[in-house]
Structure 1
Amino acid sequence: MGLFTKVEDRPTPKEVYNWRIYACSCIASLAAAAIGYDSSFIGTSLALPSFVKEFNFASYTPQALAKEKETIISVYAGAAFFGAWSFYVVSHFLGRKLSLYFYMVFFLIGAGMNCGATGDKGLGLILGGRVLTGFAVGGCSSMVPIYISELSPPAIRGRLVGIWELGWQIGGMVGFWINYGVNRTLPPNRTQWLIPFAIQLVPVGLLFFLAFFIPESPRWLFTKGRREQGVKTLCWLRNLSPNDLYIVEEIGSIDMDMERYRNEVGIGIWKPFNALKHRSIQWRFLLGFLLFMWQNSAGINAINYYSPTVLQSMGVRGTSTTLLATGVFGVVKTIMTFVSLVFLVDKFGRRNLMMIGSCGASICMWIIGSYIKIAQPAKHPSDELTPGGTAAIFFFFLWTVPYHMAWAGNPWVIGSEMFDLDTRSLGQASSASSNWFWNFMITRFTGQMFLAVDYGVYYLFASMMLLAVVFVFFLVPETSHVPLEAMDRLFAIRPVREANKTIMEELRREELEFRQNTDGLDMKEGVAVEERVERTGQTA
């Protein structure tokens, strides 16, 4: 099998893998570019000479300055936590597409407030704007992965949801390089630090215009009783006619799931909470929470937000040199995310990538921490990197390879696909809010941790990655290639490591049986969806 070979749950017409689903995924993922940019530019912006001068950072003690920076950075993640939960209510009433516009308005107002800040006014507008942009990106982080997942054919769902993470990394790379560019080319005045803050508006401005051209999620339309519009949208996305067998099967599965949803859960904003009494659903909520705990405990957000501090702990000196190193870090992250997205996530599966990548990331962190403990570069400052410091920087960049293969996108992919129709919106809100909870914890205390025991932070990250391998092996099933409507069955299979193989064999047998039963039917006259629903219900 080649790298681009698709593992399908059933025979799929080539028309299904068309430009439309890729275009919709890319447009929606502009929200991720805004998040990535906001996550990366702020740490390096706070290190710009112009920002330090404008807000008189020189008057702070090291401890007070660390806390002030932590506050500026962490209020963003704290607000994103609440934004992620708000998605459940907003999406219930507005749908996926209009929810994007709802959150974009908050983002544009917050970014505008940032641009109005001055030294005379203090940091109030910076903090207030960060709260609004944080709330907006939290909502988008819940909405966009689930929107893409609901559009996607199972065989390339990981790749399409991975575009979300790729957008995040591209935004982050731009954020790192923007600050390097303004630091090298502009004098240390207000314009120097204002440009990085103003560029926040670019990806959201593009999204505000382009989102007009993307459709509403067909599965959301089905849940709201707008079946005719949902069928029309699904046919447009799949580039197939309503009478095509593939469309008939997909609509039949959605109809069957909708019927079960109405009978077992009921229609209403609070009804899905009733599903939380089931152990299987409780476990999936906990799994989403823990996946983002492992993602953040690897150290990625500590590095994103505090990259100057991280690099200085390895002996890198000078604002320009530090910003250059963070820029290179952003490039490596983006390249590895692209490789994982295109070649790995649907080919090798989520589980294998997370286990192998965790081991590699752990090794790199052990080496970096050991160098800092032995050489203590902070106590022996030098304008030139020592050979040991160069090696530490090498492993710092190398760390991004296994980490981004394992943890950059996979928690988002799994979180967007593992919930059933009953709890999909609520579950995604829970998973995304977990990301921002752990993000807040990391950003709120990392600066002080580096001041207290710098090498110990790396040892902590390395240890957590080893524990993550055990967690994934025993508790995380492989979700790749499984239709969304079959996730309940996947999570009911034990042992976990055999669940994907078992469910895929069951689905292929059911597909073969269905095609044998429908052999000879004139599809041009159409096949009754109700018959497909009844048959699927019997075999399931």
Structure 2
Amino acid sequence: MSILTLKEDRPTPKAVYNWRVYMCAAVASFAACVIGYDSAFIGTTLALPSFTEEFRFADYSEDGLALLKQNIVSVYQAGAFFGSLAAYATSHFWGRKLSLVGFTVIFCIGAGIMLGANGDRGLGLIIGGRVLAGFGIGGCSNMTPIYISELSPPAVRGRLVGIYELGWQIGGLVGFWINYGVDSTMEPSRTQWLIPFGVQLIPAGILLIGVCFIPESPRWLFSKGRRDKAVKVLCWMRNLEPTDVYIIEEISFIDADLEKFRREVGAGFWKPFVSLKDRKIQQRFLIGALLFVFQNGSGINAINYYSPTVFRSIGITGTNTSFLTTGIFGVVKTVLTFVWLLVLIDHMGRRLLLMIGAIGGSLCMWFIGAYIKIAGAGNQTTDANGDSSLSSGGIAAIFMFYLWTAFYTPSWNGTPWVLNSEMFDQNTRSLGQANAAANNWFWNFIIARFTVNMFNAWGYGVYFFFASMMIISIVFVFFFVPETKGIPLEAMDRLFDAKPRWNANKILMDELHRENGDEDGHDDAKLTQDHFEGNGKQV
């Protein structure tokens, strides 16, 4: 089997892999463009001379300024934490689509409030607006991966959820470069720093328009008893007739999955919380949370939010040079996200990517920390414009930083979102994603709130901390995270029952093909509902 061959759980008509499913995923992923932009632009905006002068940063002590910057950045993550939890309620009652609309409107209101800030009014409007915008972002970060996962054919689910990550990186790329652009082409003024704040409304507006043209999640419609509408949406999404064997099978799997959890847990707003008594469900919630602990522990969000601080620790000085270096970082991430999306995630799988990324990324972080320890951040010369000229060791450290980006981006950047969107059953998927998104934003908040303090207190030790976290993550992934590539959503319970975890995917895929009467994965025999309920019978 070629590395580019899609791994299917059953024979799948080519019509299933059509433009409609990609279009719906792309529209929903404009939410990620908003998230990525907001995560990237704020750090460099705080370094713009026009912003620092308007809000009189020079009047603050070093510690006071560090606290102010961290508060401006971190209140966004705090809002996102609560928004991601609120999305569980809205998705239960309103559905995935209307939830996206509601949270995007909240974001737009918050972004608009920020535009009213100036030196006389102070930073209150920016801080308050970022709380509200963060709340909207948190809700979108919960809804978008669920929506995409629920409409995706299993063989390309990673690729489609990966469009969400691609949107994040494209938004981040614009966020990283916009301040380089305004700093290079505009004189310092209020307009100069307002432009980055205003641009965040563009992808939000596109999302509000685009979401009017995409359907509700068919699985959510089934769960609410709106069967006729659900079948119509599913057939449109798969580009197949209701009488097609593939559609009949998929509907039977969804029905069996819903019936199983209504029987064992029960439907309703609070019922998924009851399922948390099950140790198997607890394990999945813990795995989802720890994936984001290790993602943030790798150092990515410290770089996203405080890239000028990070590059200064390596030896890059001068505002424009720092912005340029940050912009190149965004380009590398975006290019590699395309590779991850189109080739790696659905062919190499989730586990292997995470482990390779952690091994390579850890080695790079050890090198960077060692360089700063031995050479210090002052190992460079400065020209008349205040820009830096690095030593050969400093150039090697910058190379290692970009090499770390090459390891991290196609592994830990988006893969935790893919795993969390697909490893829960229908009854706990929204709650599980709320848990994952809330954990992501909680650890984002910790990083955003304390990164500057960490660099001030630990120096090179920050990089050793990131390197150590990546080593620990290898052990965690190998022993506890099963490969979900190609597994139908309705069969995830069986995947997590299979032992050992590092071979669970092969064990289950072999079982599915045997139950399908398809030893080689090519016959057209019909799968039965029974194998999704775990009894392994053939009818």
Assess same fold via TM > 0.5: yes
Task: Give the corresponding residue for 2:446.
Answer: 441
- Quote the residue 1:5 is aligned against: 5
Distance 1:513 1:322 in 2: 57
1:386 is matched with which residue: 386, 391, 399? Answer: 391
8 Å contact 1:24–1:214 — kept in the other structure? yes
Which ranges of 4 or more aligned residues in structure 1 deviate by more than 2 Å? 1-4, 378-383, 531-540
SS in 2 for 1:92: helix
- Alignment match, 1:125: 125
Looking at structure 2, the residues matched to 4 and 214 of structure 1 have their Cα atoms a distance apart, in angstroms, of 29
Q: How does 1:69-468 map to 2 (within 5 A)?
A: 69-378=69-378, 382=382, 383-468=388-473
CA 513–364 in structure 1, closer or farther in 2 if over 3 Å, else same: closer
Cα distance between partner residues in 2 of 1:114 and 1:513: 58
Q: Quote the Cα distance in structure 2 between the aligned partners of 1:377 and 1:90.
A: 48
**Would you say 1:507 and 2:512 are equivalent positions?**
yes
Count of aligned pairs between the two proteins = 528
Identity of aligned residues (%): 62
Distance 1:533 1:379 in 2: 66
Secondary structure at the aligned position of 2:460 is classed as helix
Question: CA offsets, 1:237-262, max 9 Å, x none?
Answer: 00011111111110010011111122
1:440-472 alpha-carbon deviations (Å, 9 max, x no partner): 111110001111122000010011111111111
Aligned CA distance change for structure 1 residues 314 and 534 (closer, same or farther; 3 Å): closer
Structure 1 residues 283-307: Cα deviation after superposition (integer angstroms, max 9, x where no partner): 1011111000000000000000000
Distance 1:536 1:312 in 2: 54
> 1: distance between equivalents of 2:318 and 2:445?
28
* Residue of structure 1 equivalent to 2:477: 472
Q: Distance in 2 between matches of 1:536 and 1:281?
A: 17
Is the Cα–Cα contact under 8 Å of residues 490 and 532 in structure 2 kept in the other structure? no
Compute the displacement of 1:341 (Å): 1.1
Contact 1:315 1:381 in 2 (8 A): no
In the TM superposition, residue 4 of structure 1 has moved relative to its aligned partner by 3.2
Amino acid paired to 2:243: N
1:267-318 CA distance string (max 9 Å, x none): 2101111111100000101111100000000000000000000001111111
Distance 2:56 2:377 in 1: 27
Describe the SS at the equivalent of 1:165: helix
2:145 and 2:418 map into 1 onto residues whose CA distance is 7
Q: Deviations over 1:400-434 (max 9, x none)?
A: 11111210011000000000112111001001100
AA matched with 1:485: E
The aligned amino acid for 2:267 is I
Return the alpha-carbon distance in structure 2 between the equivalents of residues 355 and 214 of structure 1. 36
Kept in 1, the 8 Å contact 2:379–2:394? The answer is: no
CA distance in 2, matches of 1:513, 1:476: 27
Distance 1:474 1:536 in 2: 24
Corresponding residue for residue 385 of structure 2: none
Mapped partners of 1:2, 1:164: distance in 2: 26
Q: Is the CA contact 1:312–1:378 (under 8 Å) kept in the aligned structure 2?
A: no
The separation in 1 between residues aligned to 2:150 and 2:35, in whole angstroms, is 21
Q: Which amino acid aligns with 1:452?
A: A
Deviation at 1:539, TM superposition (A): 3.6
Q: 1:129-187 CA distances to partner (integer Å, 9 max, x unpaired)?
A: 10011001111111100110000000010010011011001100000110000000001
Measure how far apart 1:24 and its partner are. 0.5
User: Is the Cα contact below 8 Å between 2:379 and 2:390 reproduced in 1?
Assistant: no
Tell me if the contact between 2:288 and 2:416 (Cα under 8 Å) persists in the aligned partners: yes
Checking the alignment, whether the CA contact within 8 Å between 1:256 and 1:533 is kept in structure 2 is: yes
Correspondence for 1:20: 20
CA RMSD, Structure 1 to Structure 2 (Å): 1.7
Deviation at 1:379, TM superposition (A): 7.6
1:534–1:296 CA distance, 2 compared to 1 (3 A): closer
Q: Is the 8 A contact 2:380 2:390 kept in 1?
A: no
Conserved in 1, the CA contact under 8 Å of 2:380 and 2:389? no
2:186 aligned partner, one-letter code: L
DSSP 3-state at the match of 1:384: strand
Q: Is the 8 A contact 2:379 2:391 kept in 1?
A: no
Tell me, in whole angstroms, the C-alpha distance in 2 between the residues paired with 1:280 and 1:480: 20
Secondary structure of residue in 2 paired with 1:267: coil
CA distance in 1, matches of 2:323, 2:209: 32
- The one of 469, 484, 487 aligned to 2:489: 484
Partner of 1:524: none
Cα distance in structure 1, aligned partners of 2:104 and 2:532: 41
Paired residue type of 2:470: M
Distance in 2 (CA, whole Å) between partners of 1:38 and 1:282 is 32
Q: Structure 2: which amino acid aligns with 1:229?
A: K
Question: Per-residue deviation at 1:513?
Answer: 7.6
Q: Distance in 1 between matches of 2:528 and 2:401?
A: 54
Asked whether the 8 Å contact 1:371–1:388 carries over to 2, the reply is yes
What do residues 305-355 of structure 1 show as CA deviations (whole Å, max 9, x unaligned)? Answer: 000000011111110000000000000011111111111011011000100
Do the aligned partners of 2:51 and 2:193 also contact (CA within 8 Å) in 1? yes
Q: What amino acid does structure 1 have at the position aligned with 2:443? A: W
Distance in 2 of aligned mates of 1:419 and 1:99: 20
Please list every run of 5 or more consecutive structure 1 residues that lacks an aligned counterpart in the other structure. Answer: 521-526
1:488-525 Cα shifts (integer Å, max 9, x gaps): 010011110111001101111122289xxx999xxxxx
CA distance in 1, matches of 2:270, 2:98: 21
Distance in 2, Cα, partners of 1:80 & 1:208? 19
Report SS of the residue matched to 1:122: coil
Offset at 1:380? 6.5
CA contact (8 A) 1:308 1:326 kept: yes
Letter in 2 for 1:447: V
Match in the other structure for 2:64:
64
* Contact 2:288–2:420 under 8 Å retained in 1: yes
In 2, Cα distance between equivalents of 1:384 and 1:346: 42
Given residue 11 of structure 1, which amino acid in structure 2 is its aligned partner? P
